[in-house]
C-alpha cells in the first residue's frame, strides 16, 4: 500500500508569495517533514503532525518521510523557496534511488515555488534579465575547487551569477574567497546585490559594487546576485536605484 | 503627478500557480499592458482596461505603460512565468533608463512568479538540484556566437542548462545547432527534458537523451533542461521516470 509524498515549495517566506497549489498541498497532507523554520511558517490543523529536523539532515529526513508515505500516508516535505533549487526535491530523489524498490511506487509530486534569487531580483529591478546561473557556495557536498571553476567559467562567459548558501558558521571564508575569484575576471564596478529575507518583514536589500563587496554583510538567509559586465544601475532621485541586465548583449567587455 | 507601475509574473499558466501577491496586484491596477496570450489569462473587471500588443514589442509596450503611469494611473505590465527572467522587467528598466527624467519618479514594483524552468523541473523530479544556468536561445538581441560560447562554458563547467526561447518561426535552426554544440562536450546519455506548457491542460513533458534530442519536439512554449554529467534517471515500474541532479558533485567526468 503506497501513499503520497509532496515536496512543497513555500516561496521566499511571505505568506502572499505561497501559491494556491502549495497551500492546497499543505491542506491535503497529514505528516510534515522539514527544517524547523520552514515548518514554523505553516498553520497546521490539530489532525496534522509535524516532524522537525535540523539543517543538513536532508537525506535522513527524506528517508523518514518516504518510509511514512510507503505505509500509505499522505506526507509533505517542505522547503523554503522552490524545492527543486538547492533544496529537498533532489534529496528525496536521492533517497528513492538508494532506497527499497517499494519507494518507487509512491506517488511523488513536487510543487514549485518562487526561489530566492527571483524574489531578490524583483525587489531591485531585473538583474536576472539576461543569461544567468545559480551556484551553491556550500562545499559540504562538492570540492571548493569545483566551485571556483564554475565561478570563473560563469563570470568569464558573461552570466549573471546568483549565489545560494553563501555563508554559515561552519563555512566562514568561502564567500570572501568567491568575491576574490570574481574580482579577478569582472570589473570592480559590477553590481553586487545582497538580498536578505526578500519580501519578509526583516528584509534587507543592499546594492554594492563588486570592488567593495563585503562578505560580512551576508548570512545564511542571504542570496547574492553578482551582475555581468552588462548589468546597469539606474539612479533615481526620489526612489531607490534600479539594477537590471539588458535583454541585449554584445559579449564584448 | 506620478502613478504606479507593477510588472507582474503570472507563473507558468495554471491559475493555482499565481501567487496571492500577483492576484492582488492585478486587482489593484487599472490599465494592463502585455502580450495578448498573457492578458487572456486575466479575468478583468469592467473598470479595468487591457492594451494587448504583439510578441517582440517589449520596448514599445514598456514605453506606453510608463507614459500611462506618469499620468498618474495605476498600471500593470504582465508576463508569463517570472517577469525578471527573459521577460518584461528588464524591458521596463531599459525604457526607464532611456526615457524622460519624470519616469524615474514612478513607483515601480516587480511581482515575482514561478518561472518555466522551475515548473518543468517540478514535473519530472529535481533536474535543477545542483548548480544550473538559464540561457535564452534567441539571437534577436545577441550574436549567435555568444550563445554558443555560453553553452560550451556552462556544459564544460558542469552546470545543468535550462534553455528559454528555444525555437520560433523566425528562428528555426538555433535549437538544433545548440544540441550539436552540447553533444560535442557532454555524454550522449545526458538527460534532455522537453517541458511544454508545464502545469497547463496541454502540458507535454518528455525525457530524452541528448544523443537523440530532436529540436522538432520543441515549440515557443517549451523550456528545455539539459542535465549535467551527474544528472540521473530513476526508472519506476508503475510511475513515470524521475530525473534529478544530486546535491553532491565531484566535478570529474
pLDDT bracket for residue A156 (50, 70, 90): very high
Say if A43 is an interface residue toward chain B (CB within 8 Å). no
Model confidence pLDDT, tens digit, residues A75-130 = 999 999 999 999 999 999 999 999 999 999 999 999 999 999 999 999 999 999 99
DSSP letter assigned to residue B102? G
Q: Rounded CA gap, A34 and A65, in Å? A: 9
Say if A135 is an interface residue toward chain B (CB within 8 Å). yes
Say if B63 is an interface residue toward chain A (CB within 8 Å). no
Four-point Cα dihedral B85, B89, B93, B95, nearest 10:
110
Return the C-alpha cell found at B215.
529540436
Tell if the CB–CB gap between A104 and B238 is shorter than 8 Å. yes
Chain-centroid distance, C-alpha B200: 15
pLDDT bracket for residue A229 (50, 70, 90): very high
Say if B115 is an interface residue toward chain A (CB within 8 Å). yes
Tell me: pLDDT of B2 over 90: no
Average pLDDT along chain A:
96
Tell if the CB–CB gap between B157 and A143 is shorter than 8 Å. no
Tell if the CB–CB gap between A247 and B132 is shorter than 8 Å. no
pLDDT bracket for residue A5 (50, 70, 90): very high
Return the C-alpha cell found at B212.
537523440
**Closest partner residue to A142 among B114, B232, B251, by Cβ?**
B251
Contact list, A132 vs chain B (CB under 8 Å): 133-134
Say if B51 is an interface residue toward chain A (CB within 8 Å). no
Alpha-helix residue ranges (DSSP H) falling in chain B: 20-28, 36-39, 58-70, 88-98, 116-124, 144-156, 174-185
Give B251 or B146, the one with higher predicted confidence.
Answer: B146
Tell me: pLDDT of B253 over 60: no
Contact list, B90 vs chain A (CB under 8 Å): 126, 129-130, 244-247
Q: Say what the pLDDT of residue A1 is.
A: 62
Model confidence pLDDT, tens digit, residues B231-240 = 999 999 989 9
Q: Say what the pLDDT of residue A150 is.
A: 98
Q: Rounded CA gap, B166 and A83, in Å? A: 25
Tell me: pLDDT of B206 over 50: yes
Q: Say what the pLDDT of residue A252 is.
A: 59
B 155-184 → A contacts, CB under 8 A: 156-159
Tell if the CB–CB gap between B141 and A249 is shorter than 8 Å. yes
| Residue of A9, A60, A93 to mutate for B, most B C-beta atoms under 10 A | A93
How many residues appear in chain B?
253
Return the C-alpha cell found at B174.
538555433
Q: Say what the pLDDT of residue A61 is.
A: 98
% of chain B at pLDDT higher than 70: 98
Tell if the CB–CB gap between A123 and B134 is shorter than 8 Å. no
Say if B112 is an interface residue toward chain A (CB within 8 Å). yes
How many residues appear in chain A?
253
Model confidence pLDDT, tens digit, residues B48-82 = 999 999 888 999 999 999 999 999 999 999 999 99
Model confidence pLDDT, tens digit, residues A35-86 = 999 999 999 999 999 999 988 899 999 999 999 999 999 999 999 999 999 9
Task: Name the nearest CA neighbour of A51 among A81, A30, A72, A28.
Answer: A30
Q: Rounded CA gap, A124 and A174, in Å? A: 25
Tell me: pLDDT of A251 over 80: no
pLDDT bracket for residue A16 (50, 70, 90): very high
A204 three-state secondary structure: strand
The ipTM (two decimal places) reads 0.97
Cα torsion angle, B125, B129, B131, B133, sign: positive
Say if B135 is an interface residue toward chain A (CB within 8 Å). yes
Contact list, B83 vs chain A (CB under 8 Å): 122, 126
Tell if the CB–CB gap between B156 and A154 is shorter than 8 Å. no
Model confidence pLDDT, tens digit, residues B138-187 = 999 999 999 999 999 999 999 999 999 999 999 999 999 999 999 999 99
Tell if the CB–CB gap between A131 and B127 is shorter than 8 Å. no
Place of cell 539539459: B226
A203 three-state secondary structure: coil
Q: Starting at the edge strand that comes first in sequence, how are the strands of the sheet with A160-164 ordered?
A: A204-209, A191-196, A222-226, A160-164, A132-136, B132-136, B160-164, B222-226, B191-196, B204-209
Amino acid at each position: 500500500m503506497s501513499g503520497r509524498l509532496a515536496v512543497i515549495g513555500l516561496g521566499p517566506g511571505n505568506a502572499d508569495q505561497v501559491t494556491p497549489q502549495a497551500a492546497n498541498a499543505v491542506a491535503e497532507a497529514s505528516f510534515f517533514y522539514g527544517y524547523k523554520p520552514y515548518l514554523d511558517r505553516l498553520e497546521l490543523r490539530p489532525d496534522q503532525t509535524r516532524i522537525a529536523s535540523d539543517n543538513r539532515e536532508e537525506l535522513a529526513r527524506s528517508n523518514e518521510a518516504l518510509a511514512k508515505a510507503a505505509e500509505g500516508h499522505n506526507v509533505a516535505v517542505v522547503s523554503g523557496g522552490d524545492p527543486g533549487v538547492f533544496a529537498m526535491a533532489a534529496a528525496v530523489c536521492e533517497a528513492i534511488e538508494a532506497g527499497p524498490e517499494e519507494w518507487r511506487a509512491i506517488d511523488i509530486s513536487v510543487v514549485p515555488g518562487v526561489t530566492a534569487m527571483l524574489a531578490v531580483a524583483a525587489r531591485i529591478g531585473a538583474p536576472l534579465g539576461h543569461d544567468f546561473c545559480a551556484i551553491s557556495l556550500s562545499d559540504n557536498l562538492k570540492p571548493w575547487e569545483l566551485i571556483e571553476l564554475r565561478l570563473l567559467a560563469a563570470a568569464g562567459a558573461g552570466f549573471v551569477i546568483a549565489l545560494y548558501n553563501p555563508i554559515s558558521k561552519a563555512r566562514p571564508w568561502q564567500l570572501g574567497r568567491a568575491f576574490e575569484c570574481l574580482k579577478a575576471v569582472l570589473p570592480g564596478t559590477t553590481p553586487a546585490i545582497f538580498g536578505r529575507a526578500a519580501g519578509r518583514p526583516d528584509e534587507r536589500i543592499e546594492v554594492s559594487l563588486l570592488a567593495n563587496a563585503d562578505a560580512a554583510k551576508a548570512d545564511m538567509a542571504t542570496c547574492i546576485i553578482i551582475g555581468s559586465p552588462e548589468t546597469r544601475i539606474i539612479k533615481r532621485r526620489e526612489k531607490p536605484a534600479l539594477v537590471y541586465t539588458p535583454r541585449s548583449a554584445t559579449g564584448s567587455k
